[in-house]
């Protein structure tokens, strides 16, 4: 158990992946930093995400972890830091290897594997309440109370506070097929937005470039601003928008951390897993009438029932109605 009145001079958070999960650690890191203002907080995360929290004022040092390489140099650097406490929010084989190198108190996030397994495979729901991931992370630290704010991102580049109130950002990508609203629906939505007088821009990273290009080609007058993982520029594009329409993805959490309202479309996953937008202006669209949902807690590369109703029955007009309600 963590004793909150103890003096901690240096602690380490571990969250290796992925983009959304890392962003959702920020309310916990901020709340801990406010409880221990004299404490130095370090972070270990996967190397491809190591720049995400670069400018977070609550994080002192960020150490990149490479899954495929021997991390002996990393281990030596961490040992020299002489941590009082490690908070392992990843809790997998990789993070345990890191923890084995350190001689200090270790707290670990207890993943609800059994609850997730039963809900996905038997539809038996043992979740007694709905908790968001930051709330679950916060419970790792006994007596810690999260503040009332959502996730946060900080940038080196100043962005003009003036938004373009007429340009809606569409983020059509996601890591898994069953978490992606169909491209043809995004095209229909984009064309309807153009007809309503809005501008449309497609936002995404390297893995999203193909689908962004496809949708932009189908929406006359739209702009494709996807790039090869220039995260800072992605943030600039999202921050200028009055509204983001997206899937359940890392960019959904990115938008909420930038205080941009989101309409998010959920397919194979459900609220019990904790990844709905956290403490933000948002509206979630999901098909609650399906007995086959959820079919996964992270997403799948195909619909196991072959009908994909969780996404296909959420029509573009429903998104337009949600947009009208939010704006």
Domains identified in the chain, total number: 2
The mean pLDDT value for 199-205 works out to 98
- Going by pLDDT thresholds of 50, 70 and 90, the confidence category of residue 99 is very high
Residue 199 has what pLDDT? 97
Percent of the chain clearing pLDDT 90 (strictly above): 91
| Residue 4 within a domain | no
pLDDT bin (cut points 50, 70, 90) of residue 6 is low
Strand boundaries in 203-310, DSSP class E? 223-224, 244-247, 262-265, 282-285
- Mean pLDDT value of segment 313-319: 98
pLDDT band at 158 (very low <50, low <70, confident <90, very high): low
Give residues with Cβ within 8 angstroms of 142, minimum separation 6: 1, 2, 4
* CA dist., res. 24 & res. 137, Å (int): 9
Q: Please check whether residue 77 lies inside any domain of the structure.
A: yes
Instruction: Give pLDDT, residue 33.
Output: 95
Four-CA torsion 90, 230, 53, 203, nearest 10 degrees: -80
Q: Can you give the pLDDT at residue 5?
A: 56
Q: Does 149 fall in a domain?
A: no
Q: Report the pLDDT value the prediction gives residue 7, as an integer from 0 to 100.
A: 74
* β partners of residue 45: 64
Please determine, for residue 157, whether its predicted confidence score (pLDDT) is greater than 90.
Answer: no
* One domain, residues 190 and 307: yes
pLDDT at 155: 83
Domain CATH code at residue 297 = 3.40.50.2000
Of the given ranges (76-90, 99-113, 152-166, 218-232), which has the lowest mean pLDDT? 152-166
Task: Give mean pLDDT, residues 38-51.
Answer: 96
Average pLDDT over residues 137-163: 84
Residue 1 counted as domain residue: no
pLDDT band at 162 (very low <50, low <70, confident <90, very high): low
Whether residues 228 and 293 share a domain: the answer is yes
In a domain, 159, yes or no: no
Instruction: Supply the range of the domain harboring residue 283.
Output: 167-326
Contact between 197 and 166 (Cβ < 8 Å): yes
Residue 156's pLDDT is 72
20 shares its domain with 117: yes
Q: Which residues pair with 170 in a beta bridge?
A: 202, 245
pLDDT score at 8 = 83
pLDDT of residue 121: 97
Q: What is the overall mean pLDDT for the chain?
A: 94
Both tokens of 243, joined, read 């509204």
N-to-C CA span, the chain: 45
pLDDT confidence band for 4 (50 / 70 / 90):
low
């Amino acid at each position: 158990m963590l004793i909150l009145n103890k003096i901690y001079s240096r602690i380490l958070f571990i969250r290796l992946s992925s983009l959304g999960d890392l962003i959702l650690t920020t309310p916990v890191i901020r709340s801990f930093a406010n409880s221990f203002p004299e404490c130095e907080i370090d972070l270990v995360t996967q190397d491809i995400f190591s720049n995400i929290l670069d400018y977070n004022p609550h994080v002192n040092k960020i150490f990149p972890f490479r899954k495929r390489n021997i991390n002996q140099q990393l281990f030596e650097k961490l040992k020299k830091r002489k941590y009082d406490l490690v908070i392992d929010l990843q809790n997998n084989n990789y993070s345990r290897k890191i923890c084995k190198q350190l001689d200090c108190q270790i707290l670990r996030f207890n993943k609800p594997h059994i609850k997730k397994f039963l809900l996905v495979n038997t539809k038996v729901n043992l979740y007694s309440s709905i908790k968001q991931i930051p709330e679950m992370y916060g419970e790792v630290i006994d007596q810690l109370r999260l503040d009332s704010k959502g996730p946060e991102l900080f940038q080196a580049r100043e962005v003009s506070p003036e938004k373009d109130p007429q340009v809606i950002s569409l983020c059509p990508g996601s890591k898994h097929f069953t978490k992606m609203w169909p491209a043809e629906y995004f095209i229909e939505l984009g064309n309807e937005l153009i007809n309503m007088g809005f501008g449309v821009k497609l936002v995404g990273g390297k893995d999203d470039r193909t689908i962004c290009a496809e949708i932009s080609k189908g929406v006359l007058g739209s702009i494709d601003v996807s790039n090869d993982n220039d995260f800072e520029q992605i943030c600039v594009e999202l921050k200028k928008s009055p509204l983001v329409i997206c899937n359940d993805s890392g960019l959904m959490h990115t938008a909420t951390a930038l205080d941009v309202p989101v309409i998010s479309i959920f397919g194979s996953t459900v609220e019990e897993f904790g990844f709905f937008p956290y403490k933000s202006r948002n509206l979630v669209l999901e098909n609650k009438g399906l007995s086959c949902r959820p079919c996964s807690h992270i997403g799948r590369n195909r619909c196991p029932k072959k009908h994909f109703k969780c996404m296909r029955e959420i029509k573009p007009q429903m998104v337009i109605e949600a947009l009208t309600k939010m704006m």
